[in-house]
Amino acid sequence: MADYRNMWDDLGMDLEKHDILCEVLPDAFHEVYISQKDRPEGMDYYDFVVAEIHGIRPAELVEHRKKGGKVFGTFCVYVPDEIIFAAGAIATGLCGGSQFWVPGGEKVLPANTCPLIKASVGARLDRTCPFFRLADIYVGETTCDGKKKAWEILNQDVPVYVMDLPQMKREKDIAAWAEEIKLFLKKVEEVTGNKVTPESLAENIKLISRKRKALERLYNTRKNSPVPISGRDALLITQIAFYDDPERFSSKTPLPSAILLSSSSHNSLVLEEKRSGSS
């Protein structure tokens, strides 16, 4: 990873504790991902993103904020990113998937709380993740009581907007969710100072749809036999989609024939057969 210490320092991060995290990440990533046999060459881009995970994308968000833009940190895929981008802001996922952040969360949460929730809180309070430092506002959701408590705690340190996610799929629940989206749109306009127009919304619906289509292609590719990409790598790509620039991610996650170039000739043959219309 390049030297981003000045940026991290400006973000108010705990550099000493962050160094500890950076020291263990390369070996852990190699053991879990790089060491896989017949790993697709098309994973190079995603490996690069992880290698610069606390650098390149955070630096882009810093520049966006310097120009007056806002950054929304989200925890749930139900948050309508289309609205955020349509208002000239950027949505970035906030990951709570590292055990490293759990102790920080346990300072304010019971030990028997879900590790995901404790990590999400610890990443902010321990100041060891630039994404958690960059977001001007967090967007939470009511998927469980533990998260509801986490939003209350985080709201003492950073503004948190909570979307009430329906627990069922009845007609009245769908109507309630539609109303939540309208309320969220008003909040986004309030935070950004920008109006969401039909034109900007339509444009960014297409933008986020391209990202979702790229992920759909990825998942459909795993229906091949033998599977040309592991579940680990598919999960890695999905996680990167949560915070990478959506346009760039879509362009880097093209048709399976382009992304999944495996060192295994058998896997390549399967993909060639799929392209030629065998299914």
Per-residue pLDDT tens over the stretch 9-61: 999 999 999 999 999 888 889 999 999 988 888 899 999 999 999 999 999 99
- CATH architecture assigned to 5-275: 3-Layer(aba) Sandwich (3.40)
pLDDT tens, N- to C-terminus, the chain (279 residues): 668 999 999 999 999 999 999 998 888 899 999 999 888 888 999 999 999 999 999 999 999 999 999 999 999 888 999 999 999 999 999 987 788 999 999 999 998 999 999 999 999 999 999 999 999 999 999 999 999 999 999 999 999 999 999 999 999 999 999 999 999 999 999 999 999 999 999 999 999 999 999 999 999 988 888 888 899 999 999 999 999 999 999 998 865 554 444 434 334 433 444 444 443
In sequence order, what DSSP letters do the residues of the chain get, joined into one string? ----HHHHHHTT--HHHHHHHHHHHHHHHIIIIIT-TT--GGGHHHHHHHHTTTTHHHHHHHHHHHTT--EEEE--TTS-HHHHHHTT-EEEE-----GGGHHHHHTTS-TTS-HHHHHHHHHHHTT--HHHHH-SEEEEE-S-HHHHHHHHHHTTTS-EEEE---SS-SHHHHHHHHHHHHHHHHHHHHHH-----HHHHHHHHHHHHHHHHHHHHHHHHTTSSS-SS-HHHHHHHHHHHTTS-HHHHHHHS--HHHH---S-HHHHHHHHHHHTT--
